[in-house]
Amino acid sequence: MNYTLHQLQVFLKVTQTESITKAAEELHLTQPAVSIQLRNFQDQFDIPLTEIVGRKLYVTEFGREIASAAEKIVDQIHAINYKTASFKGQLTGRLKISVVSTGKYVMPYFLTGFMKRHPGIELKLDVTNKAMVLNSLDENEVDFALVSILPESIQVEAIQLMENKLYLVSNKDFEFKKEKYAKEIFEQITLIFREQGSGTRLTLERFLRNNNIPVRKKMELTSNEAVKQAIIAGLGCSVMPLIGIRNELKDGYLKIIPVEDLPIVTNWNLIYLKNKRFSPVAEAFLTYLHEEKNNIIAEHFSWFGEKRVSNN
């Protein structure tokens, strides 16, 4: 056998994503390049590593065994690179963070300066829903997690980063007949919810429950972007985090409906397991946040602190 490290990395990414298209995107390669590397790697084995059923790629049982071995090899290569950089006096290693979907508008700003300061660090940033984020943290698969609602079932420590403001949002065709609406407006509109397990959905449901507000018409969509596009198209309204709709408000595609007791205000928290033993990289990031978070907020999120949000 004469497979290369590059082939191992491509095969490992294909098994993780179960998609040549997604693997190509994450590796910043073309789909044909990934397909060629996968085929060249497969040619060195008599037993199939993957199979196509319909249009979906599946990893065989043998393929998963090879993927497990490939992951160990790739990890050892990373370890060699880290040790080499360490001898040169650089802070090296992996920083692993899991982020709820709306957190993708927040977390990168708290990472950029740190990553520039320590170029020897490799970042793994996973963006998914709240349930998956907490599972990754509970299984100790990541160093930190970004959430807007603190978990009750896991013992964690938290660093409060900034506020998370949620407003009732419509498309540009909504006609404002009142300067401020009563909460009963929720009974008169089609309300779009995020999927079960979403932090935004939990916050909205808690608000409706605490105010005894029944919802007559509702639909459910599985991503923040899907909700945003549905509102723009006129399918309904939704309560959305301000952080994720700034451009759409500015361009006039979305409007904030003024409602009493809104916005709902929570906080973005970077959490980690209680009594966790940090790697040098995670420890350095924690120190960086304590020192720089106020400067980062002032530089990138000064607009977010305004008391009144305009629809213009």
Domain topology for 5-87:
Arc Repressor Mutant, subunit A (1.10.10)
CATH code: domain 163-266 is 3.40.190.10
Give, for 56, the enclosing helix (H) or strand (E): strand 56-59
Mean pLDDT is highest, among 220-224, 263-267, 276-280, for 263-267
Same fold, 5-87 and 163-266: no
Tell me the pLDDT tens digit for each residue of 12-41. 889 888 888 888 888 888 989 989 999 999
Burial of residue 146 (number of CB atoms within 10 Å: 0-12, 13-18, 19+): buried
Write down the pLDDT at residue 84: 63
Residue spans of beta strands (DSSP E) within 153-200? 156-171, 190-194
pLDDT at 129: 82
Rounded Cα distance, 312 and 310, in Å = 5
Element (H, E) at 60: none
Fold of the CATH domain 93-162+268-305:
D-Maltodextrin-Binding Protein; domain 2 (3.40.190)
Domain boundaries, the chain: 5-87, 93-162+268-305, 163-266
Span 137-196, pLDDT tens digits = 998 889 999 998 888 889 999 999 998 999 999 999 888 888 889 988 988 889 999 888
Q: Is the pLDDT of residue 4 over 90?
A: no
Percentage of the residues of the chain whose pLDDT score is greater than 90? 31
- For the chain, give the longest Cα–Cα distance: 73
For the chain, give the percent of residues with pLDDT over 70: 93
pLDDT band of 89, cuts 50, 70, 90: low
- Model confidence at 118: pLDDT above 80: yes
pLDDT, tens digit, 9 for 90 and up, residues 231-271: 999 999 999 999 889 889 989 999 999 999 899 999 999 99
Cβ burial 268-282 (10 Å sphere, 16+ → b, else e): bbbbbbeeeeeeebb
Structure tokens at 243: 């952080």
In this structure, of 70-84, 158-172, 269-283, 287-301, the range with the lowest mean pLDDT score is 70-84
